Amino acid sequence: MLNSPGSIGISGPSLHHEPDRLEDVSADNLFPKLNPAALQKDSNILSQLAALNNIEIDTKKIIVQELKGKLSNVCCPDKKYVENDIDLIKQVLSDISTASKGSLNLVLKNHAVKAVKDAVYCFTFDDFSITHPNVNNESSNFNRILPSLGCAAQNYGYFGRKIILHTAEQMLSDYKKTDRLGKLEKVILNDPSNEATELSTGDYYMKYLTDYGISLDEEYDKTKMS
């Protein structure tokens, strides 16, 4: 499960529980922890991005350029999802070195939305929300967004998946949060593979139904039926 943030400089929860404390924010220090070819399911990328985001802008730009240079030397032609992660992290690094792009959470959300839209073309920024005054409508919204996020995650390794998961977690209120978070982790953080990146949207939805059926769908509260 995802834990509370501590003091990593980003609003909202961190991903998993690595207690990394970066005393030296440098490209040499950050690269091994952000290298898409080496990331694992329990890697904590958010604390690394937050540490970079919180330093002085001119130094940040230098480190970003050094990181992008190192990333350009990572070659995984046999792992398309790693190549997609490399492209994504370069875009994220460019944005967090540009003050006009907004907070780190906003930068990550914009990229998460784009990732989902690339897989589900009708998806929009406003769709990254499930909140509704009626709990049954909220459950319906959650049931609808779950396979869309899973579909988008298939195109990425753990970097892209964690960006999508972090953004998805921001839309959760306390209501059913633990249960919903577990379901999000199940569909988003499954092991990446080239086979997954080759699935069309329609093929993914068929696979989702085969793997999960309606087992992840929230049941409606019959006492709150409108």
Gap between the Cα atoms of 117 and 123, Å rounded? 5
For the chain, what percent of residues have pLDDT higher than 70?
88
- On average, the pLDDT of the chain sits at 88
Radius of gyration of the chain (CA): 18
Instruction: Using the predicted structure, report yes or no on whether residue 18 has a pLDDT greater than 90.
Output: no
For the chain, what percent of residues have pLDDT higher than 90?
75
Gap between the Cα atoms of 183 and 160, Å rounded? 18
Instruction: Using the predicted structure, report yes or no on whether residue 22 has a pLDDT greater than 80.
Output: no
CB of 124 within 8 A of CB of 117? yes
- Listed residue (221, 213, 223, 212) closest to 140, CA to CA: 221
CB of 17 within 8 A of CB of 32? no
Q: Is 189 helix (H, G, I), strand (E, B) or coil?
A: coil
Q: Is 200 helix (H, G, I), strand (E, B) or coil?
A: coil
Q: Which amino acid is at 14?
A: S
Q: Which amino acid is at 143?
A: N
Q: Is 177 helix (H, G, I), strand (E, B) or coil?
A: helix
Domain limits of the chain?
Answer: 27-217
Q: What is the pLDDT of residue 115?
A: 96
- Listed residue (69, 67, 35, 40) closest to 53, CA to CA: 67
Instruction: Using the predicted structure, report yes or no on whether residue 1 has a pLDDT greater than 80.
Output: no
Q: What is the pLDDT of residue 134?
A: 85
Q: Report residue 222's pLDDT band, with 50, 70 and 90 as the boundaries.
A: low
CA angle 140, 144, 145 (to 5 degrees): 120
Gap between the Cα atoms of 83 and 157, Å rounded? 9
219 Cβ neighbours under 8 A, 6+ residues apart:
139
pLDDT of 155-214, one tens digit each? 999 999 999 999 999 999 998 999 999 999 999 999 899 999 999 999 999 999 999 999
Instruction: Using the predicted structure, report yes or no on whether residue 3 has a pLDDT greater than 50.
Output: no
